[in-house]
Structure 1
Amino acid sequence: MGNKNGSSETLSNETITLLMQKTGMPKYEVELWYKAISSRSSKGKLSKKQMISIYKDMSDLDSTRISDVVDALEKVFDEDNSGSVDVNEFMRGFILTTKGDLKSKIDYTFRLYDENNDNKISGEEIKKMANAVTRMLGADETGSDEACCAIIHQFLKQFTGNHNGVIHRHDFIETVMRNRELLFVLSPFYGID
């Protein structure tokens, strides 16, 4: 998705179209966001520190929640797996997680937890998800095993399509769309407008 020459000096038509469709934003507003974000980039690329700064300065996201997902955020936004996030990639991720429709926010939430990109959350990924949730709810850095086990059990009960402790992408999206409490607990992006 990033440019082949390694930089993103212009806003791609693909990004403009996607953001207009998923957010209802007019083209000029998308272009204004692009100017604001690209002015903070280094040669069309954004470091993890720059991404976090943009979230803190340009969104309503609770800064303590974004800190919990900073590593995953960089991986998820790097759509072409180049090892860096270009401005177009960041624009898509940032705008969809802050101004996107509910389904876009839930999809990004799923992608945060699906570390190996196999379209399912299983085993160790579920445990990491539970640990992240307990930290977002105020537990210490390690979280307690008892609290994590309880959260894992609750998660799996919610997802009717889970098989052998696996949560598939489509089931995650459908279940979380129907359960706003679950969305609030799982997603660092919920409630951002």
Structure 2
Amino acid sequence: MGCVSSKKKLSKSDLEFLEENTEFTKDQIIEWYEGFILDCPNGELTKKKFIQVYRQFFPNGQAEAFCTHIFRTFDADNSGKIDFKEFLMAINITAKGNPEKKLKWAFKMYDIDSNGSIDRQEMLKIIESIYDLLGAGGSQNASNGMNPSRDPDDTPETRTSQIFAVMDEDKNGVITEEEFIRGCMSDRVLYQMLTADTGDPDR
């Protein structure tokens, strides 16, 4: 741990920004930073490293596709790398954010082409990547309403159709951010599934 002092320091402006814009304390931010800089001495997290870390949490599945979507959402400036500020802002939303903030972040992940709405192909791609991530074991997915191994009719395609039946209120073939948030807030299983959260959106 003694080598931390010789590595990149967290700038005062970044520290102040994160104190103002996250729910982490100054000490927590510094602790997160020290861990981040140990793993990423140059201050940037590559997609390859991100996938390596994420894969540890889902040893039975294929993490690459889902991680690519998450990485794209974390990488706010589209640089192909995640700096500490981007990393902690995303962690703050996914770990500490209120339900609406989590849903706004999740919507950005599903809206692959960033045009402000989710079409069926975009939804299908993310759902397929979640099924790949969960693998065939089914143990991790029971908590969020997904269990592709148990029911042969439960495929990404059928799941996508079910989601659109609930969320696409005006039946125009796309889901807006407002429809996405309303649909998740009114359906606990959808909320858990689409945000990978085991809590209740009312909490």
Change (3 A) 1:187 1:171: same
Which runs of 5 or more residues in structure 2 are unaligned?
1-7, 135-145
The percent of aligned pairs where both chains have the same amino acid is 23
Instruction: Assess if the C-alpha contact under 8 Å between 1:19 and 1:30 holds in 2.
Output: no
**1:165 and 2:150 aligned:** no
2:139 aligns to what?
none
- Structure 2 length-normalised TM: 0.70
Q: Distance in 2 between matches of 1:127 and 1:100?
A: 26
Higher RCO (C-alpha under 8 Å, 6+ residues apart):
1
Deviations 1:90-114 (Å, cap 9, x if unpaired)? 1111232123222232222222211
The one-letter code of the counterpart of 1:91 is L
The structure-2 alpha-carbon separation of the partners of 1:106 and 1:40, relative to structure 1 and needing over 3 Å to count, comes to: same
From 48, 52, 66, the equivalent of 1:69 is 66
Gaps of at least 5 residues in structure 1 are 1-7
Deviations 1:122-153, CA, capped at 9 Å, x for gaps: 1310221332344444548xxx8973332122
Q: Which residue of 1 aligns with 2:157?
A: 149
Amino acid at match of 1:148: P
- Equivalence for 2:128: 131
Output the amino acid matched with 2:47. Answer: K
Residue 72 (structure 1) shift: 0.9
For residues 1-193 of structure 1, the aligned pairs below 5 Å read 9-10=9-10, 12=14, 13-20=16-23, 25-52=24-51, 67=63, 69-135=66-132, 136=134, 137=146, 139=148, 147-159=155-167, 161-188=169-196, 190-191=197-198
Larger radius of gyration: 2
Closer, same or farther: CA 85–62 of 1 in aligned 2, 3 Å: same
The whole-number CA distance in structure 2 between the counterparts of 1:36 and 1:115 is 30
| Alpha-carbon offset, residue 17 of structure 1 | 1.4
Q: What is the Cα deviation at residue 9 of structure 1?
A: 4.8
Q: Which runs of at least 4 in structure 1 moved beyond 4 Å after TM superposition?
A: 52-57, 61-66
1:165 Cα deviation after fit:
1.4
Aligned residues: 174
Structure-1-length-normalised TM-score: 0.73
